[in-house]
């Protein structure tokens, strides 16, 4: 009887988990099919050329071009989205990596108990609050700073959006970076210290390089978060559908145009279809980011992690980076021997 009861519970558990997996798979397929079907209608039903859509610089769906087709060039929004994403990542990376090193390597007790919980509070702040702070603080500061230098600008633009987005993606990159650094085995550090490396030599040559794939994953996830943000960016970028001519001129992104236009157009119109095409473009970019994460996760090196860490510690201890000395791991793994090349 007990064996039958266990078997019944096993079957129920497998059935429930299988149903959950099937539900998630169905949801993903349905969403992708829905967005793809509506987005492709721009090119199949409305007859708009894909090249002119991706490379055109003028966005005015209610105006026809010389061929009688709506003017729907999405390049200004694509350029704006990538510019804001890359610049915000550039702003956030030094702080995120520095914070992760502080929490894991410098002051673990204080970092885990105080710094990391404070950082995670940023995750719970709504996007509209970030946008409001950016509108009243960042935009005003940029405008006043330009006025002090004799320049007249509105303060809206890629720079203000990047600063706001950098604060928004900071918790994501930092938290994942903390987990990446903490996952590096302690034997790596012990082997480096045994060879006479200092703490910062160990962090730079051993810990960071060993955690590089996971750190890259954190960066890509942060970029994905920044690329898909809508409300906060819309409030500070200026929403001018034009090619970005500078960091301090109003611009637009794919998400800002979507949020402004989707509720104002009737279903089935050309303008509504091209907005779905923008959504399809966003979805495609998200899938690209996810594929990059998987490629990083499955990347394999030619040398084992033991040999790799020994080579790095030998190079750090001898100060030779171009052609480090030969090294070999003994047993236990925390024992690494270096020999100078002849």
Q: Which CATH number covers residue 143? A: 1.10.3720.10
Residue 263, burial from CB neighbour count under 10 angstroms (0-12, 13-18, 19+): exposed
Please state, as a whole number, how many other Cβ atoms lie within 10 Å of the Cβ of residue 184: 20
CA distance linking residue 102 with residue 238, whole number of Å: 37
Among 212, 118, 130, CA closest to 166: 130
Count of domains for the chain: 1
| DSSP structural state of residue 130 | H
Q: Which helix (H) or strand (E) holds 337?
A: strand 336-339
Mean pLDDT to the nearest integer, 104-125: 87
For residue 17, is it within any domain? Answer: no
For residue 38, is it within any domain? Answer: no
For residue 206, is it within any domain? Answer: yes
For residue 127, is it within any domain? Answer: yes
User: Taking a C-beta distance cutoff of 8 angstroms, is the pair 146, 160 a contact?
Assistant: no
Its domain, for residue 146, covers: 79-236
Which residues, including other chains, have CB under 8 Å from residue 272's CB and lie 6 or more apart? 262, 265, 266
Looking at residue 330, its pLDDT comes to: 43
- Better pLDDT: 125 or 195: 125
User: Taking a C-beta distance cutoff of 8 angstroms, is the pair 322, 340 a contact?
Assistant: no
Q: 184 φ, ψ to 5°?
A: -70, 125
User: Taking a C-beta distance cutoff of 8 angstroms, is the pair 36, 18 a contact?
Assistant: no
CA-based angle 12:14:19, to the nearest 5? 95
Q: How confident is the model at residue 319 (pLDDT cuts 50, 70, 90)?
A: low
Question: Between the CA of residue 223 and those of 40, 104, 121, 166, 227, what are the distances in Å?
Answer: 26, 23, 20, 10, 6
Among 294, 122, 299, CA closest to 217: 294
CA-based angle 95:100:103, to the nearest 5? 125
CA distance linking residue 306 with residue 110, whole number of Å: 31
Looking at residue 63, its pLDDT comes to: 78
Looking at residue 324, its pLDDT comes to: 43
Chain Cα centroid distance, residue 193: 34
CA distance linking residue 202 with residue 207, whole number of Å: 6
Q: How confident is the model at residue 149 (pLDDT cuts 50, 70, 90)?
A: confident
CA distance linking residue 152 with residue 159, whole number of Å: 15
For residue 302, is it within any domain? Answer: no
Q: How confident is the model at residue 79 (pLDDT cuts 50, 70, 90)?
A: very high
Q: How confident is the model at residue 143 (pLDDT cuts 50, 70, 90)?
A: very high
For residue 6, is it within any domain? Answer: no
CA distance linking residue 241 with residue 101, whole number of Å: 40
The distance between the two most distant Cα atoms of the chain, rounded to a whole number of Å, is 87
User: Taking a C-beta distance cutoff of 8 angstroms, is the pair 81, 227 a contact?
Assistant: yes
Q: Which residues pair with 336 in a beta bridge?
A: 329
Looking at residue 176, its pLDDT comes to: 92
- Bridge-based pairing of strands 70-72 and 326-329 is unpaired
CA distance linking residue 187 with residue 194, whole number of Å: 10
Mean pLDDT to the nearest integer, 331-339: 50
For residue 209, is it within any domain? Answer: yes
For residue 327, is it within any domain? Answer: no
């Amino acid at each position: 009887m007990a064996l039958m009861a266990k078997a019944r519970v096993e079957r129920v558990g497998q059935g429930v988990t299988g149903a959950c997996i099937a539900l998630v798979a169905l949801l993903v397929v349905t969403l992708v099919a829905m967005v793809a079907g509506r987005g492709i209608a721009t090119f199949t039903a409305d007859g708009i050329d894909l090249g002119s859509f991706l490379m055109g610089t003028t966005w005015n769906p209610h105006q026809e071009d010389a061929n009688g087709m709506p003017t729907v060039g999405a390049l200004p929004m694509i350029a704006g989205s990538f510019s804001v994403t890359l610049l915000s990542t550039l702003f956030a990376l030094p702080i995120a990596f520095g914070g992760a090193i502080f929490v894991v390597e410098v002051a673990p007790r204080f970092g885990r108990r105080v710094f990391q919980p404070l950082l995670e509070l940023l995750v719970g702040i709504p996007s509209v609050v970030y946008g409001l702070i950016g509108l009243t603080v960042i935009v005003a500061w940029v405008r006043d700073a330009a006025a002090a230098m004799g320049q007249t600008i509105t303060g809206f633009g890629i720079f203000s959006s990047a600063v706001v987005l950098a604060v928004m993606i900071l918790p994501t990159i930092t938290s994942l970076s903390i987990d990446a650094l903490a996952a590096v085995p302690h034997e790596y550090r012990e082997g480096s210290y045994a060879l006479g490396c200092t703490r910062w030599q160990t962090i730079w040559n051993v810990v960071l390089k060993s955690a590089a794939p996971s750190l890259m994953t954190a960066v890509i996830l942060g970029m994905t978060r920044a690329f898909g943000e809508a409300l906060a960016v819309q409030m500070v970028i200026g929403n001018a559908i034009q090619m970005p001519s500078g960091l301090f001129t109003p611009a637009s992104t794919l998400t800002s145009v979507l949020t402004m236009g989707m509720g104002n157009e009737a279903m089935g119109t050309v303008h509504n279809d091209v907005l779905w095409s923008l959504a399809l473009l966003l979805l495609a970019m998200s899938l690209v980011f996810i594929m990059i994460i998987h490629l990083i996760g499955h990347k394999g090196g030619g040398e084992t992690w033991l040999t790799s860490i020994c080579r790095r510690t030998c190079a750090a201890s001898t100060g030779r980076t171009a052609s480090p000395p030969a090294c070999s791991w003994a047993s236990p793994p925390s024992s690494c021997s270096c020999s100078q090349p002849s």
